[in-house]
Amino acid sequence: MIPSSPVKSRPVYLPFGISPNVQFSLILTDKPTLDPSCLRSETDPDTFDEVWVVHGGSTILPQQHNGLRSFRSVSQLTETLAGRLAHEQMGLRLYAAGSEDFIWKTARIAEQAGLSRDEYSLFKLGPLTRTVMCAHCHTLTRNISMTLITCDGCGATLEVRDHFSRLHGAYLGVQADAETPGILPTVEALT
Amino acid sequence: MMDTLALRVAERDLLSPTLLRLRLTSANANKLPSVTPGSHLVLDLPVKDGARRNAYSITQAGKGGTFYEIIVRHSPTSRGGSAFVHKELTVDSILNASCPSNFLALESTAKKILLIGGGVGVTPLLALARARMERGETLEFHQFCTPEEKPVFESLLAPFGQGVACVHAGRNALDFQTLFRRQPLGTYIYTCGPNAMMERVLTEATAMGWPERRIHQESFGAGGGNPFTVTLARTGGTIPVAEDQTLLDALESADVPITSLCRGGACGMCRTPVLAGTPEHRDHFLSADEKASGRWIMPCVSRAHGACLTLDL
Ligand code: FES
């Protein structure tokens, strides 16, 4: 489902479709406006049995879905998910679409509930921004689009690496002038 | 090459007219190699017309390498290894065996395991179930057998308790769909028994959304089928394969060098190229595409559709 990219730990996401023949399918998203163009053409959002959305206040897609549930926050959704999966049966497929830290948070809950990699799919939505974890103070800094950032926690200037932590759903950021103090690499846009 | 173990028959216990339980200890008072649940042992059986190497699951292993226990089914039509075990082996008989190997290991992340056995396919499942029970982990065990054998299997499964283990007389005594639908997330299936039963488990479960990787199967070399003839393209010989003999046994009896390990279609060691004829695949090693191509066969379990097969040997 997730082929490797040149840097091993950096996930590559495929557009997803729904597995046929499943007993129950649940899609989770933290993007209230789930852009249908992200889904493979044959995927109709209405075919999910339930859609769980972290509601950001704007329109929710799909508009009229019977199994639609709104959540106030990511943590409210993930807690509900853990409780729900504890009582679910085999034949379930879980899909998570949204920001990288959100989808990997749900992946962790899925694994804890006993789902294997064949039973959940992750899809990254939205701008190419990253969440960066500071290697020094472990603070997460969100919505990063450039290769050099200032850590929200310790204020260090961090260089954003391609190394991705599935546990934290974040890329690693390390002190940018660690090799030659005072000399910073050039700032580039992340791809 | 593989290490050989010398084993002594320490106990012999006829469970039913056709099921014999043997307790094997080391013939030279050594500690037996420790085994993981699901392992099997390949016994060298010196039958009259040569040697048979039969794989038997270890149903129980003594703590500290003190013994292995196996259960051997003797089918009335068999002239091969199992007949030898039933008729010739007595307490204190000495046998050679290869070191145990395991192709049915427990999944460490399983939240639950669902065991489905048919007939003597119960053997590897007993070891898996016992290991889960000893660790206090969840399991559910369903065993199919004939009505006559129900009491024997009930006593084999008794240690797991009612509600956990259940013996069904007749193949339609259990509805797989209902069973599969109520399994919690994180369940793995382990099935061993006749091919038709394992096929049914696989098809019904995958049709309900179980990933294939959640279903582990083990077949045993026996099974039998129509007799056929193999032609060896390189060496030019022809070898008959009897109905109660595996292709691997036939090749070995004719001294054709061929490597094998599991003798149950799981490890891939015996893979042999096919040049002509249509294999009847019974293994779990080749992919569906490889099977469809007809270019390979696993002689330890698979046979031929039709009367002959030509192998690149
Ligand atoms: S010996 Fe293992 S697949 Fe044949």
Q: Coil, strand or helix: which one is A179? A: coil
Q: Compute the average pLDDT of residues B175-204.
A: 94
Quote the tokens at residue B197: 């039963």
Q: Is the pLDDT of residue B1 over 50?
A: no
Residue A62 is predicted with a pLDDT of: 46
Top-ranked range on mean pLDDT: pick from A32-41, A55-64, B133-142, B229-238: B133-142
Peptide bond preceding A62 in cis form (omega within 30 of 0): yes
CA distance B168 to B156: 13
Query: How many percent of chain B have pLDDT more than 90?
Result: 72
Quote the tokens at residue B180: 């599969």
Which of A21, A91, A114 lies nearest to residue B186, judging by beta carbons? A114
Q: Is the pLDDT of residue A39 over 80?
A: no
**Predicted interface score ipTM higher than 0.85:** no
User: H or E segment at A83?
Assistant: helix A74-85
Contact B184 A88 (CB under 8 A): yes
CA distance B243 to B249: 12
Residue B92 is predicted with a pLDDT of: 95
CA distance B200 to B118: 12
Question: How does strand B138-145 pair with strand A68-71?
Answer: unpaired
Domain B112-221 and domain B228-311, same fold? Reply is no
A89-102 pLDDT, tens digit per residue, is 999 999 998 888 89
Query: How sure is the predictor about B170, in pLDDT bands with cuts at 50, 70 and 90?
Result: confident
Residue A181 is predicted with a pLDDT of: 78
State how far the alpha carbon of B106 is from the alpha carbons of B42, B98, B287, in Å. Answer: 20, 22, 22
Domain B4-101 -> CATH class? mainly beta
CA distance B158 to A173: 58
Quote the tokens at residue B245: 């003999």
B280-293 pLDDT, tens digit per residue, is 998 889 988 899 99
Residue A60 is predicted with a pLDDT of: 46
Question: How does strand B19-26 pair with strand B39-45?
Answer: unpaired
Query: How sure is the predictor about A58, in pLDDT bands with cuts at 50, 70 and 90?
Result: very low
Domain ranges of chain A: 24-124, 130-175
Residue B24 is predicted with a pLDDT of: 97
Q: Compute the average pLDDT of residues B82-96.
A: 93
CA distance B279 to A191: 51
Domain B228-311 -> CATH class? alpha beta
Q: Is the pLDDT of residue A170 over 60?
A: yes
Residue B91 is predicted with a pLDDT of: 96
CA distance A111 to B258: 42
Asked if B167 and B150 touch (Cβ cutoff 8 Å), the reply is: yes
* Cα angle, residue B202 at apex, residues B200 and B207 outer, rounded to 5°: 95
Q: Is the pLDDT of residue A8 over 70?
A: no
Q: Is the pLDDT of residue A4 over 50?
A: no
Query: How sure is the predictor about A72, in pLDDT bands with cuts at 50, 70 and 90?
Result: confident
Asked if B274 and B311 touch (Cβ cutoff 8 Å), the reply is: yes
CA distance B223 to A164: 50
Q: Is B98 in the pocket of ligand 1 (CB under 6 A)?
A: no
What pTM did the predictor assign? 0.83
Report how far ligand 1's centroid is from the alpha carbon of B17 (Å).
30
Q: Is B165 in the pocket of ligand 1 (CB under 6 A)?
A: no
Q: Compute the average pLDDT of residues B62-73.
A: 94
For testing the chain A interface, which of B112, B179, B182, B185 should be mutated: the one with the most A CBs within 10 Å? B185
CATH assignment of B112-221, among 3.90.230.10, 3.30.70.360, 3.90.1530.10, 3.40.50.80: 3.40.50.80
Domain ranges of chain B: 4-101, 112-221, 228-311
C-alpha closest to that of A113 among A132, A134, A90, A144:
A90
Domain A24-124 -> CATH class? alpha beta
Q: What is the number of helices (H) and of strands (E) in chain B?
A: 7, 17
Interface contacts (A, B; CB < 8 Å): 56
Q: Is B269 in the pocket of ligand 1 (CB under 6 A)?
A: yes
